[in-house]
């Protein structure tokens, strides 16, 4: 091996511009402006968010395009506030679950359930709660909106982090123990880097889903209280009220720009940077690239600005919080077992009390016929979700396979599919509603497609990913043996992409249930369309301020979603893992 060449190539890349002293270069200027802009925006929006609630009445949301950039900014900031809260939640809760057996017993199933609960339904309670927490201030409503987004994001992130912590390679764990790392240093040097790729991917998925909720949670009506927070969602709600199609179009365009910017400015750089945390010992052929990341890396001044941050982080990492001794023995002693049983008893007692409390609450106002009604509507919505996922699969699986098998096409379509998945479909709802009204279509049928409008893309981009990863030798073998078309699909392609398809379909169906709360009821000006279903049931109960029915609706929907996951998706997933893995 030519050692000289190796070292040269290693050294050349990051230090290439050292020769030219301290003068700022072009990259510095661009990067500086971007960063400064972010800081100004943050400061501005933070001040606005703390404004008194009456401010909303004085300066209500208007359809003036000049306001649109600010609305977009406010919407984005809500999003970031939620993602920060989700990260914080992830680090605390997932670490707790991974380190404490008792906490794990409660947290893991809780996360699993929370992932399947339709978070839009929560909005009712959280708005009331947070407005009570900050009486008279806009902050309460802001918090409610942020919390709504948070509830759509946090669970899968925490789950991913927890799973990473549980699968830390044994030898690296031994290294940290042998060198007596403090828990703090261990977190920064081992746990966080190891978990980073999974966590970043899940954060990305969470944010994609989050746009939907940020739009849905800005214009809230609960009973008599109706609040419109400045943002794209409120703009859209107003546009619908006023039947202003031009304003709807503007909202769509703005949303597209925002998501594009967020992808280019935030996520691509992070993914490119996080590539080094991928746990593999061989260098990858293709590495994710990002122009923003390259720019920041090349910008000398930016690095100098961040140097103190790095230094402080380094100092922080070296704090020794406690000395390392034996870990608790892996075999729980008698005392440990008793403790666990007591803990389990406490948890079960808590759960029993919660159940009693819920049932008592519901029984005060509702009878068994109400439950039957909700379940019946649940079946209607289930039927919709099932049919739509089937239809979307029939359409997108062949297209996804076609694209995935052609690298040039996959390269172009894949980012588009991911973009579409992130695009909040509720922004597009008014267009559909206008069409239904204009052609006098049956809302029971034609409102349904709205449920998969935003979620079908998960099927598409997962299938594309699966088809792209399909081994070339298997494809060549099937070509050589001249498999007939049907045979080729059944024996080669479908098994090959199956694990990816299941992942996509699972995400899509979960998202569709959630979307039903917004999609089964739609309005355009004074025209109101309604499809019979559980989503509409929850939406109407929310609007009427009928908390009992909201609780019942959410509970029934949660049961449906969990049943789908347990009875259909998980077994399919297991089959995919066992039978159809290609590695």
H helices present in 263-324, as ranges:
268-274, 291-298, 300-317
Confirm or reject binding of residue 325 to other proteins (CB under 8 A): yes
Q: List the Cα angle 554/560/564 in 5-degree steps.
A: 145
Residue 190 or 428 having the CB closest to other proteins: 190
The distance of closest approach from Cβ of residue 300 to other proteins in the complex, given in angstroms and rounded to an integer, is: 17
- In the stretch 327-366, what mask flags binding to other proteins with x, by CB under 8 A? --xxx-----------------------------------
Task: Considering only the stretches 234-242, 320-328, 540-548, 562-570, report the one whose residues sit in contact with other proteins under the rule CB under 8 A.
Answer: 320-328
- Estimate the crossing angle of helix 456-468 against helix 407-422, to 10 degrees: 150
The distance of closest approach from Cβ of residue 514 to other proteins in the complex, given in angstroms and rounded to an integer, is: 35
Confirm or reject binding of residue 490 to other proteins (CB under 8 A): no
Q: Which residue in the set 16, 22, 47, 171 belongs to the binding site for other proteins (CB under 8 A)? A: 171
Confirm or reject binding of residue 166 to other proteins (CB under 8 A): no
Rounded to whole angstroms, the Cα distance separating 75 from 145 reads 10
Confirm or reject binding of residue 281 to other proteins (CB under 8 A): yes
Confirm or reject binding of residue 312 to other proteins (CB under 8 A): no
**Chain length of the chain:** 583
Using DSSP bridges, classify how beta strands 225-228 and 219-222 pair: parallel, antiparallel or unpaired. antiparallel
Residues 184-203 that bind other proteins (CB under 8 A): 185, 189-190, 193
Residue 160 or 512 having the CB closest to other proteins: 160
Residues 285-304 that bind other proteins (CB under 8 A): none
The distance of closest approach from Cβ of residue 287 to other proteins in the complex, given in angstroms and rounded to an integer, is: 11
Contact assessment for residue 83 and residue 157, using Cβ atoms and an 8 Å cutoff: no
Q: Which residue in the set 25, 62, 163, 324 belongs to the binding site for other proteins (CB under 8 A)? A: 324
- In the stretch 12-31, what mask flags binding to other proteins with x, by CB under 8 A? --x-----------------
The distance of closest approach from Cβ of residue 141 to other proteins in the complex, given in angstroms and rounded to an integer, is: 41
Contact assessment for residue 217 and residue 345, using Cβ atoms and an 8 Å cutoff: no
Residue 304 or 320 having the CB closest to other proteins: 320
Residues sharing a CB contact under 8 Å with residue 328, sequence separation 6 or more, in sequence order = none
Residue 281 or 369 having the CB closest to other proteins: 281
Residues sharing a CB contact under 8 Å with residue 29, sequence separation 6 or more, in sequence order = none
Task: Considering only the stretches 247-255, 281-289, 370-378, 437-445, report the one whose residues sit in contact with other proteins under the rule CB under 8 A.
Answer: 281-289
Tokens matching residue 469: 């990863």
Confirm or reject binding of residue 11 to other proteins (CB under 8 A): yes
Unique residue bearing structure tokens 């598409």:
460
- In the stretch 258-277, what mask flags binding to other proteins with x, by CB under 8 A? ------------------xx
Task: Considering only the stretches 135-143, 310-318, 381-389, 533-541, report the one whose residues sit in contact with other proteins under the rule CB under 8 A.
Answer: 310-318
Contact assessment for residue 258 and residue 75, using Cβ atoms and an 8 Å cutoff: yes
Rounded to whole angstroms, the Cα distance separating 556 from 517 reads 13
Q: What is the 3-state secondary structure (H, E, C) of 114-163?
A: HHHCCHHHHHHHHHHHHHHHCCCEHHHHHHHHHHHHHHHHHHHHHHHHHH
Q: List the Cα angle 328/196/152 in 5-degree steps.
A: 95
Nearest to 556 by CA among 372, 345, 401, 408: 372
Interface residues with other proteins (CB under 8 A) are 1, 3, 6-7, 10-11, 14, 169, 171-172, 174-182, 185, 189-190, 193, 276-283, 314, 317-318, 320, 324-326, 329-331, 579
């Amino acid at each position: 091996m030519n050692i000289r060449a190796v070292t040269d190539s290693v050294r050349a890349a990051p230090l290439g511009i050292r020769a030219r002293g301290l003068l700022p270069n072009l990259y510095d200027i661009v990067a500086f402006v971007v960063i400064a802009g972010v800081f100004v925006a943050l400061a501005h929006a933070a001040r606005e968010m703390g404004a008194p609630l009456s401010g909303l009445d004085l300066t209500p949301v208007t359809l003036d395009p000049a306001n649109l950039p600010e609305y977009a900014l406010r919407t984005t900031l809500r999003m970031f506030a939620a993602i920060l809260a989700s990260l914080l939640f992830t680090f605390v809760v997932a670490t707790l679950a991974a380190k404490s057996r008792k906490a794990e017993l409660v947290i893991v199933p809780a996360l699993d359930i929370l992932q399947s609960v339709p978070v839009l339904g929560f909005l009712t309670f959280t708005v009331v709660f947070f407005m009570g927490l900050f009486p008279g201030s806009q902050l309460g409503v802001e918090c409610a909106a942020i919390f709504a987004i948070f509830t759509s994001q946090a669970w899968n992130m925490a789950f991913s982090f927890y799973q990473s912590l549980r699968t830390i390679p044994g030898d690296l764990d031994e290294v940290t123990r042998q060198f007596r790392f403090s828990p703090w240093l261990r977190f920064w040097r081992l746990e966080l880097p190891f978990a980073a790729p999974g966590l970043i991917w899940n954060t990305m998925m969470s944010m994609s889903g989050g746009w939907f909720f940020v739009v849905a949670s800005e214009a809230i009506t609960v009973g008599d209280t109706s609040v419109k927070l400045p943002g794209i969602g409120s703009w859209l709600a107003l546009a619908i009220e006023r039947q202003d199609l031009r304003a709807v179009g503007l909202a769509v365009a703005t949303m597209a720009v925002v998501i594009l910017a967020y992808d280019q400015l935030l996520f691509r750089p992070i993914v490119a940077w996080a590539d080094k945390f991928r746990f593999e010992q061989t260098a990858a052929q293709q590495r994710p690239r990002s122009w923003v990341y390259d720019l920041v890396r090349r910008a000398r001044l930016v690095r100098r600005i961040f140097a103190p941050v790095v230094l402080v982080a380094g100092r922080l990492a070296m704090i020794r919080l406690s000395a390392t001794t034996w870990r608790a023995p892996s075999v729980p002693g008698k005392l440990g077992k008793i403790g666990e049983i007591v803990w389990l008893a406490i948890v079960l007692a808590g759960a029993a009390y919660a159940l009693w409390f819920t049932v008592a609450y519901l029984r005060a106002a509702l009878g068994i016929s109400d439950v039957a009604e909700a379940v019946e509507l649940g079946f209607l919505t289930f039927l919709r979700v099932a049919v739509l996922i089937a239809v979307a699969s029939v359409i997108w699986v062949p297209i996804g396979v076609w694209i995935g098998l052609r690298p040039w096409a996959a390269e172009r379509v894949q980012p588009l599919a991911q973009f579409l998945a992130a695009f909040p479909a509720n922004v597009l709802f008014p267009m559909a509603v206008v069409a239904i009204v204009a052609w006098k279509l049956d809302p029971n049928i034609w409102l349904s497609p709205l449920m998969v409008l935003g979620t079908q893309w998960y099927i598409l981009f997962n299938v594309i990913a699966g088809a792209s990863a399909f081994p070339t030798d298997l494809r060549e073998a099937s070509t050589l043996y001249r498999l007939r078309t049907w045979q080729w699909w059944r024996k080669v392609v479908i098994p090959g992409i199956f694990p990816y398809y299941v992942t996509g379909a699972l995400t899509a169906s979960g998202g569709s249930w959630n979307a039903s709360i917004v999609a089964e009821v739609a309005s355009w000006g004074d025209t109101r369309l309604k499809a019979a279903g559980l989503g509409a049931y929850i939406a109407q109960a929310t609007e009427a301020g009928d908390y009992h029915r909201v609780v019942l609706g959410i509970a029934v929907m949660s049961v449906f979603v969990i049943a789908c996951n347990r009875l259909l998706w998980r077994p399919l997933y297991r089959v995919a893992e066992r039978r159809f893995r290609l590695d």
